[in-house]
């Protein structure tokens, strides 16, 4: 997706992309959190039809209640508990095929606050992953490329929100730019004026106050480059994963149907009201 300021900033990375999705199991384990949670961590007692209806309801909810708050709201998104996603101010734009997961105790917040007309804005590219507790707050401009993954509790801001001496004021703001394929680890914080180059990884819990080049891993507080990525390694991005979207959806549906085939409404009600060990 064209996020204006982002274009031209991002370097072309030199990784070979793997456009094939080889293994259904690998795919299932990589990004489909709903399946991952239900299939690997705990049995899903819902009948298939109920699960399908719930997934559909979440997307209908997102399209009805959330989409109007976005300047641009792409297609193909997967929302999990969209009622815990808050969008405040604007413009906020998001490309296609985002996965946005929120929970009751870890709301996702995308907010734009600006005292100046025309300033402030969030633009997120396509194929993004936004995990529970992610907060993106803009008073200047935050641009995030395609295939970017933001783990739980990540905080990205382009402003201080209070001046060092003028505590009643707005403080300094400087645009933030995050290029394509960046992966930001759990609870990392990205501060004003930071650019992160293509493919780079930010370690969990890092505090990033200076720009990070492309194709590196940066971590710590303050974050420093700990390693360069190996250019010989093939990298598979979320775009690659979605390129086989239709086939993938059919496979996931078949897999879901097989996993939940013995579930009935009665068994599910029993599980809800009379849970027992091993459920
Ligand atoms: C950044 C990361 C990918 C690096 O993994 P790795 O390449 O296996 O790194 P290593 O464990 O070999 O660590 C290399 C060095 O960096 C340091 N380091 C790694 N991650 C760090 C972090 N988050 N903060 C501070 N230092 C870190 C290690 O202590 C080690 O230092 P040393 O050489 O002095 O011992 C990983 O540490 C990480 O943070 N993953 C994020 C996981 C996450 O948030 N997942 C959420 C799901 S989306």
Q: What is residue 30's predicted lDDT score, i.e. its pLDDT? A: 37
Q: What percent of the chain has pLDDT over 90?
A: 61
Q: Peptide bond preceding 71: is omega within 30 degrees of 0, i.e. cis?
A: no
Q: Which residue has the tokens 């086939």?
A: 247
Query: DSSP letters along 186-252, please?
Result: TT-EE-TT-EE-TT-EE-TT-EE-S-B-SSEEEETTTTEEEEE--TTS-B--HHHHHHTHHHHHHHH
**Can you say whether the dihedral through the CA atoms of 39, 44, 49, 54 is positive or negative?**
negative
Domains and CATH numbers, the chain: 17-230+243-273 (2.160.10.10)
- Bridging pattern class, strands 129-130 and 149-150: parallel
**What phi, psi does 60 have (nearest 5°)?**
-65, -40
Q: Peptide bond preceding 91: is omega within 30 degrees of 0, i.e. cis?
A: yes
Q: Whose CA is nearest to atom 42 of ligand 1?
A: 185
> Is 219 near ligand 1, meaning CB less than 6 Å away?
yes
Could you report the per-residue pLDDT of 147-159, keeping only the tens digit for each? 999 999 999 999 9
Q: Which residue has the tokens 């998001």?
A: 94
- CA 218 to ligand 1 center in whole angstroms: 8
> Is 89 near ligand 1, meaning CB less than 6 Å away?
no
pLDDT surpassing 80 at residue 11 = no
- Looking at per-residue pLDDT, the higher value among 242 and 75 belongs to 75
- CA 96 to ligand 1 center in whole angstroms: 30
- Looking at per-residue pLDDT, the higher value among 110 and 250 belongs to 110
- Which of 151, 204, 227 to mutate for ligand 1's pocket (most ligand atoms within 8 Å of CB)? 204
* Mean pLDDT score, 12-22: 32
- Bridging pattern class, strands 216-219 and 224-228: antiparallel
Q: What is residue 6's predicted lDDT score, i.e. its pLDDT? A: 40
* Mean pLDDT score, 251-276: 88
d(CA 273, CA 242): 38
* Mean pLDDT score, 108-116: 90
Look over the chain and give the mean of its residue pLDDT values, rounded to a whole number. Answer: 85
pLDDT surpassing 80 at residue 241 = yes
d(CA 10, CA 180): 7
Could you report the per-residue pLDDT of 71-89, keeping only the tens digit for each? 999 998 999 999 999 999 9
> Is 229 near ligand 1, meaning CB less than 6 Å away?
no
Q: Supply the pTM of this predicted model.
A: 0.84
Query: Which residues share a beta bridge with 150?
Result: 130, 184
- CA 222 to ligand 1 center in whole angstroms: 14
d(CA 139, CA 117): 11
Could you report the per-residue pLDDT of 23-68, keeping only the tens digit for each? 223 333 334 443 344 444 468 888 888 888 998 999 999 999 999 9
> Is 204 near ligand 1, meaning CB less than 6 Å away?
yes
> Is 205 near ligand 1, meaning CB less than 6 Å away?
yes
**What phi, psi does 63 have (nearest 5°)?**
-65, -35
> Is 200 near ligand 1, meaning CB less than 6 Å away?
no
The ligand 1 atom nearest the CA atom of 149:
48
Q: What is residue 250's predicted lDDT score, i.e. its pLDDT? A: 85
> Is 186 near ligand 1, meaning CB less than 6 Å away?
yes
- CA 219 to ligand 1 center in whole angstroms: 7
d(CA 191, CA 209): 5
Query: Which residues share a beta bridge with 190?
Result: 156, 208
Name the band, by pLDDT with cuts 50, 70 and 90, for residue 277.
confident
Q: What is residue 60's predicted lDDT score, i.e. its pLDDT? A: 94
């Amino acid at each position: 997706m064209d996020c204006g300021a982002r274009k031209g900033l991002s370097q072309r990375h030199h990784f070979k992309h793997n456009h094939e999705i080889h293994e259904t199991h690998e795919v299932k384990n990589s990004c489909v959190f709903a399946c991952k949670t239900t299939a690997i961590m705990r049995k899903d007692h819902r009948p298939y039809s109920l699960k399908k209806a719930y997934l559909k309801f979440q997307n209908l909810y997102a399209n009805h209640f959330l989409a109007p708050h976005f300047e641009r709201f792409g297609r193909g998104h997967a929302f999990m508990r969209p009622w815990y996603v808050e969008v405040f101010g604007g413009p906020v734009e998001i490309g296609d095929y985002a996965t946005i997961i929120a929970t009751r105790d870890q709301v996702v917040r995308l907010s734009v606050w600006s005292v100046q007309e025309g300033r402030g804005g969030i633009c997120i590219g396509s194929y993004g992953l936004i995990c529970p507790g992610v907060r993106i707050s803009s008073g200047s401009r935050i641009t995030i490329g395609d295939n970017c993954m933001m783990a739980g509790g990540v905080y990205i801001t382009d402003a201080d929100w209070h001046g060092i001496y003028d505590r009643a004021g707005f403080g300094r703001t400087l645009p933030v730019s995050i290029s394509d394929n960046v992966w930001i680890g759990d609870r990392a914080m990205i501060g004003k004026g930071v650019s992160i180059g293509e493919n780079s990884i930010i370690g969990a819990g890092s505090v990033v106050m200076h720009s990070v080049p492309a194709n590196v891993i940066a971590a710590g507080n303050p974050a420093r480059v700990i390693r360069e990525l190996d250019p010989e390694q093939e990298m598979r991005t979320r775009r690659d994963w979605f390129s086989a979207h239709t086939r993938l959806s059919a496979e996931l549906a078949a897999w879901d149907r097989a996993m939940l085939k013995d579930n009935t409404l009665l068994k599910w009600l029993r599980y809800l009201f009379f849970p027992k060990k091993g459920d």
